[in-house]
Amino acid sequence: MSCFTGKYTDELIANAAYIGTPGKGILAADESTGTIGKRFSSINVENVETNRRAFRELLFTTPGALKYLSGVILFEETLYQKTADGKPFVELLKENGVLPGIKVDKGVVELAGTDGETTTQGLDGLLLRCQKYYEAGARFAKWRAVLKIGPNEPSQLSINENANGLARYAIICQEAGLVPIVEPEILVDGAHDIAKCANVTERVLAACYKALNDHHVLLEGTLLKPNMVTPGSESPKVAPEVVAEYTVRALQRTMPAAVPAVVFLSGGQSEEEATINLNAINKLKTKKPWTLTFSFGRALQQSTLKAWAGKEENLQKAQAAFLTRCKANSEATLGTYQGAGSLSEGASESLHVKDYKY
């Protein structure tokens, strides 16, 4: 057969298309326990289950926010958590037209013989875990591969290894009814210019789609979560229109129209930067046969986190901040974002952490 077909084919196609609904995007709330700990420590909140539950509940119960989201990526713990009233998060999301997703990778490990390049783990027993997650209500999955730009990086080994891992993960997900989000993140770290980033992104994406095709993945039932094409973190910034031009061209050169949507990662851009770049991408007049939307973690949660500071009395303030970012990014997917009048604290703060691991 040309590509995978199984009992979930129609559902995969429908769910992937739904996630790409114009005006909606994904909230990436799948920080592992360790990573959410880092977030919490920045606002002096203890990293315990009740706090983790409380923060996610804050996000999911923000009045009016869920209509801007087509999906939320969860960490395994969160998939089984409930609101204070006892309603499973998964049910809450589904009732509001939001598909629950699940992070399924098990983090990165270094590739011996390279200069700090990595591969992503998590294939062992993946089918069984995905089936369990499907039963729990998840309908899409995410797996983050990481590549970096350096004098000799990304190496062909790193590209091949990460592309292959993504392809194996993708087909296993489809066998279990989960739409795989394919995420080959090329870190922004470095002093390279935007042309170099474009070059590497195109190479990596070409390898990813070759691997997906070789593994018989049904492209109509997948999503791509790439980095935007930007200069390195140590290089001067460029205008959003330039980011848009390079980013869309890279996708035109590599991503088949069969893939319904791109859900960009924010990768250390500030909340406002990420929104403005996404807006520019959607305003660009050129061939774009896929939806171009967001799958933001830090860039949706930063100012919310700061406003909350772990205190119940800050609930409304925090939810207002979250709603603002959701609405802004929703407008950005339509190219209608006007820019923030006044930014809440943290919205323009760069979220770049060198050599980010999570």
Partner 1 sequence: MACSSLVKLNASTSPWIGHQSFNQRSRSCRQAAPRRVAVVRAGAYSDELVKTAKTIASPGRGILAIDESNATCGKRLSSIGLDNTEVNRQAYRQLLLTTPGLGQYISGAILFEETLYQSTTDGKKFVDCLREENIVPGIKVDKGLVPLPGSNNESWCQGLDGLASRSAEYYKQGARFAKWRTVVSIPCGPSALAVKEAAWGLARYAGISQDNGLVPIVEPEILLDGDHPIERTLEVAERVWSEVFYYLAENNVMFEGILLKPSMVTPGAEHKERASPDTIAKYTLTMLNRRVPPAVPGIMFLSGGQSEMEATLNLNAMNQSPNPWHVSFSYARALQNSVLKTWQGRPENIEAAQKALLSRAKANSLAQLGRYSADGESDDAKKGMFVKGYTY
Q: Which residues contact 328 (CB under 8 A, 6 or more apart)?
A: 275, 337, 340
Residue 168 engages partner 1 in binding (rule: CB under 8 A): no
Please report how the helices 298-308 and 271-283 are oriented relative to each other, as an axis angle in degrees rounded to 10. Answer: 150
Residue 261 engages partner 1 in binding (rule: CB under 8 A): no
* Tokens 């939810």 found at: 319
With contact defined as beta carbons under 8 Å apart, do 18 and 70 qualify? yes
Residue 21 engages partner 1 in binding (rule: CB under 8 A): no
Alpha-carbon distance 293 to 19, whole Å? 9
The helix (H) or strand (E) run that includes residue 118 is strand 118-120
Residue 256 engages partner 1 in binding (rule: CB under 8 A): yes
**What's the closest the beta carbon of residue 119 comes to partner 1, in angstroms?**
15
Spot the catalytic one: 24, 142, 148, 225: 225
| Residue of 255, 299, 321, 351 interacting with partner 1 (CB under 8 A) | 255
- Please identify, using beta-carbon distances, which residue of 162 and 304 lies nearer to partner 1: 162
Q: Which residues contact 123 (CB under 8 A, 6 or more apart)?
A: 165, 168, 169, 172
With contact defined as beta carbons under 8 Å apart, do 26 and 293 qualify? yes
Residue among 69, 83, 86, 90 nearest 27 (CA): 69
Residue among 176, 351, 197 nearest 274 (CA): 351
With contact defined as beta carbons under 8 Å apart, do 343 and 274 qualify? no
* Burial class of residue 111 in the structure, from the number of CB atoms within 10 Å of its CB (0-12 exposed, 13-18 middle, 19+ buried): middle
Spot the catalytic one: 153, 183, 220, 271: 183
Alpha-carbon distance 104 to 123, whole Å? 9
**What's the closest the beta carbon of residue 175 comes to partner 1, in angstroms?**
19
Q: Which parts of 268-287 interact with partner 1 (CB under 8 A)?
A: 287
| Residue of 49, 135, 214, 234 interacting with partner 1 (CB under 8 A) | 214
| Residue of 95, 115, 241, 345 interacting with partner 1 (CB under 8 A) | 115
**What's the closest the beta carbon of residue 332 comes to partner 1, in angstroms?**
21
- Please identify, using beta-carbon distances, which residue of 113 and 341 lies nearer to partner 1: 113
Residue 2 engages partner 1 in binding (rule: CB under 8 A): yes
Residue 338 engages partner 1 in binding (rule: CB under 8 A): no
Respond yes or no: is residue 183 known to be catalytic.
yes
> Where on the phi/psi map is residue 97: left (φ > 0), alpha (ψ -120 to 50), or beta?
left
**What's the closest the beta carbon of residue 203 comes to partner 1, in angstroms?**
6
**What's the closest the beta carbon of residue 343 comes to partner 1, in angstroms?**
33
Alpha-carbon distance 52 to 347, whole Å? 22
Q: Which parts of 234-253 interact with partner 1 (CB under 8 A)?
A: 246, 249, 251-253
- Please identify, using beta-carbon distances, which residue of 19 and 211 lies nearer to partner 1: 211
Residue 196 engages partner 1 in binding (rule: CB under 8 A): yes
**What's the closest the beta carbon of residue 137 comes to partner 1, in angstroms?**
30
Report the interface residues with partner 1, using CB under 8 A: 1-3, 112-115, 149, 151-156, 195-196, 198-200, 202-203, 206-207, 209-210, 213-214, 219-220, 246, 249, 251-258, 287-289
User: Where in the sequence numbering do the catalytic residues fall?
Assistant: 183, 225
